[in-house]
Amino acid sequence: MSRHRVAWLPGDGIGPEVCDAARMVLDAAGFEAEYLNGDIGWEFWRVEGEALPRRTLDLLDHTDCAFFGAITSKPAAEAIRELVPELQSRGLTYRSPIVRMRQLLDLYVCRRPCRTFRGNPLNYRENIDLVIFRENTEGMYIGVEFPRIPEQLRAIPQIKALPADAAISIRSVTPGASRRIVEAAFQYAVQHGRRKVTAVHKANVLCATCGVFLDAAREIAANYPQIEFDTANVDAMCMWLLKDPRNYDVIVTTNLFGDILSDLCSQLTGGMGFGYSGNIGEKYAVFEPTHGSAPKYTGQNKVNPLAAILAAKMMTEWLGELEIARNIERAVADVVERGAVRTYDLGGNASTMDVAQSVAESVRFAHAMR
């Protein structure tokens, strides 16, 4: 078996705990890799003024992919107050390291599978199996924001008409980025026997930006006559998803709508304890549980590690270790269905590591049966 090089980025809060859990399962599954630890998160912001230090970016440069736990983010003013005194007046701005990795490494696909596991008491309905393709590099996430309108922009009539104390955020949507995310969604649909792709937008109000996205989606869809294609406004989509999520299959959308819809879809399939993501580019990818750092649970060995374990599964799949990926997913299904070992979110009192151990045993069994 090839030896993979994985940048290991546990981050803040419960990040290290769920990463340990994922690691236990990866080892049990027979996944062989060299893990290289990287610094990321709040402590590095506080002490160095940079949550994603240069040395970590270099590490990403020298690895095949990264596994990321979670990071703490705080509002701008609070972020500045928490800096060590000597950095306080440097005019630094906190930027989310996960958003930066997505943009700097051009990880343009954020793939977020949301499927139910049988026997999960939190399933909203049984047999939900959706995959969200979230555009991961532009949209509302470009970080072009002004707490007060800059003078230069006041020359634009629509901006001049705004109240003097307005804050503004700029959304950028390009045909190129829209095409490639929609293309990725259709490619996935073809490769995985999916029947339908739904493009989600708000083109009735955000005419310019969502118009570009929708045009690109229609253009790409025309190349895939064998896959059903439809479109929906994001507000209606939330309603339809609650009405019957089984009517949907592959969902493709812009960055912020994808962020919102993915939490909604995670909840349909067991909550944030099951939400996982692959941030995938042409040559590099970062895998992560979608949940945050949950500071109040830090160090308690309490949270559900299945999201991190499923993110690890997705990583092995991306690295071409398909059998390992299948075994991990089966082991998760097995543990959820047996129901004997469950964290608090599923009504149980097992710890993070109890669940990891239980998945590891199940996966070791599958590995031994090869």
CA proximity to 212, closest of 135, 312, 280: 135
Residue 279 near which of Mg ion, ligand IPM, none (CB within 5-8 Å, type-dependent)? none
Residue 326, judged by CB atoms within 10 A of its CB (0-12, 13-18, 19+), counts as middle
**What residue ranges bind ligand IPM (CB under 6 A)?**
73, 96, 98-99, 259, 290
CA distance 243 to 190: 26
Least Å from the CB of residue 263 to Mg ion: 6
Residue 358 near which of Mg ion, ligand IPM, none (CB within 5-8 Å, type-dependent)? none
Q: Which is nearer to ligand IPM, 259 or 321 (CB)?
A: 259
Q: Which is nearer to ligand IPM, 26 or 101 (CB)?
A: 101
Q: How many CA atoms lie within 13 A of 259 on its CB side?
A: 11
259 lies in the binding site for Mg ion (CB under 5 A): yes
Q: Which is nearer to ligand IPM, 30 or 275 (CB)?
A: 275
Residue 187 near which of ligand IPM, Mg ion, none (CB within 5-8 Å, type-dependent)? none
Q: Which is nearer to Mg ion, 99 or 324 (CB)?
A: 99
CA distance 133 to 192: 14
135 lies in the binding site for Mg ion (CB under 5 A): no
User: Cβ distance 357 to 20 under 8 Å?
Assistant: no
Least Å from the CB of residue 298 to Mg ion: 19
Give the residue at shortest CB distance from ligand IPM.
96
Least Å from the CB of residue 207 to Mg ion: 26
CA proximity to 316, closest of 67, 18, 70, 11: 67
Q: Which is nearer to Mg ion, 138 or 259 (CB)?
A: 259
Both ends of the chain: CA-CA distance in Å? 14
Q: DSSP class of residue 123?
A: B
User: Cβ distance 172 to 145 under 8 Å?
Assistant: no
39 lies in the binding site for Mg ion (CB under 5 A): no
Residues that bind Mg ion (CB under 5 A): 259
